[in-house]
A and B are shown apart, each in its own frame.
Chain A
Amino acid sequence: MSSLRAVRNLRICSKDCLCLYVCPTGATDTETGQIDFEKCIGCGACSKACPSGAISMVPYQYPKQQVKDKLVVEKLNEIIRSKVEQEKMAQYVYDNSDDVVLKQFSKALIRANRLIVEDLYREAGYMLPQSQNTRDFLNKLLDENIENDIKDDIKKLLDMLELNE
């Protein structure tokens, strides 16, 4: 079996349907729009034919995450802490204001800070959801006192994400 499979980005797909004609197994023709990966043999024909560049060939297993230097991670974490605090300040402004414009502005600030932090985390050792770091993080959350349905979700994630390290 091929180590690749085809996936379609529904946000780009223009429904030109060329991929329907070239797929030798009918994997591209589904009611959900997602390619049926049980049928897909990874030949790549659909990806080459797609006029919109909406189909990527992705590996079943992604390469291992780059190992990050400890000091780099520490410095990025300092920025993360600061930006999260700023998000929480903006949230306070948002929650405590009746002014439409200030609410709009603080909402944009909340979002901007959140995006900065999400990006920082990727470079601080959490690029891959299948990494050991992510597992350690999730396991640590399980130790805490949290609701049962949240615990179940965390366990589900640990089951679904295959470790790759």
Chain B
Amino acid sequence: MKKYICPICGYVYDEAKEGVKFVDLKDDWKCPLCGAPKNLFEAEAQVVEEIEELEETDELREMSYGEISALCSSLARGCDKQYLFEEAKLFTKLSDYYNKKSKTKTINNLDELLSKINEDLEKNYKQARLVATKKEDRGALRVITWGEKVSMILKSLINQYEQDKNFINKTKVYVCDICGFIYIGDNKPEICPVCKVPSFKLLEVGKEG
């Protein structure tokens, strides 16, 4: 008997209590709390990953326009929180300006996006977590934990979309305005399963036209 854990909200599926083996659950079984699909669940005993030595490089890198735009919109939020509305407006204007200057990245299908997400999950987030743990940076650990969970959700949603393009047709799409979690379904959860913010921060993305 094993326990399986929802990587998004932490819900525990306990085979001993449920009386049904996890593998025997239907493929379309979903986390009863947050709707995460079955294939995301992880068995409780985890393999401890090897710790590699990560070295600091001193490369000074130019920021892309897309990065500049995102930093400006981040600072706009920072000003907004401090009630500096004039400053927030200016940062938002800068963010829009650099967003227009930045180029889109051509892809042929969503698989290319998926492989970037996989790279984040398999390498980038793992390394970042290792370093943040070692340096005891809990703020960084928070952003890593949230980002990892949201990435997993994005991955599974893209997979679902590729399997059945109609799965969004008759329902709604919400994005958590704090952490970026996407929820696709009729009724949004009461709190964001990733960052735990109340549901009024889950904003709907409507269909255009």
Residues of chain A at the chain B interface (Cβ within 8 Å): 7, 34, 58, 62, 66, 68-72, 74-93, 95, 100-105, 107-109, 111-123, 126-129, 134, 137, 141, 146, 150, 153-154, 156-157, 160-161
Contact = CB atoms under 8 A, between A and B. Distances in A.
A75 B148 CA distance: 14
- What DSSP secondary structure best describes chain B's contact surface? helix
19 contacts: A7-B83, A66-B139, A77-B61, A82-B124, A83-B147, A86-B117, A89-B105, A93-B107, A104-B205, A105-B168, A108-B175, A112-B154, A126-B74, A127-B78, A129-B82, A129-B91, A137-B71, A157-B91, A160-B86
B140 A82 contact: no
Question: How many interface residues does chain B have, given as a range?
Answer: 35 or more
Interface string B100-130: 0011111100101100110110001101100
A66 B135 CA distance: 13
Nearest to A122: B74
A91 B175 contact: no
Interface of B: 54, 56-57, 61, 64, 66-68, 70-71, 73-75, 77-79, 82-84, 86-87, 90-91, 93-94, 97, 102-107, 110, 112-113, 116-117, 119-120, 124-125, 127-128, 131-132, 135, 137, 139-140, 142-144, 146-147, 150-151, 154, 157-158, 161, 165-166, 168-169, 173, 175-182, 205-209
Contact of A75 (B132, B154, B169): B132
Contacts of B132: 72, 75
A48 to B, nearest CB: 19
B207 A100 contact: yes
Which of B57, B150, B158 is packed against the most chain A CB atoms within 10 Å? B150
Contacts, number: 208
A83 B178 CA distance: 16
A126 B70 CA distance: 11
The 8 closest A-B pairs by CB, nearest first: A115-B180, A112-B180, A118-B74, A75-B128, A92-B104, A88-B105, A117-B70, A121-B74
A109 B112 CA distance: 14
A59 to B, nearest CB: 10
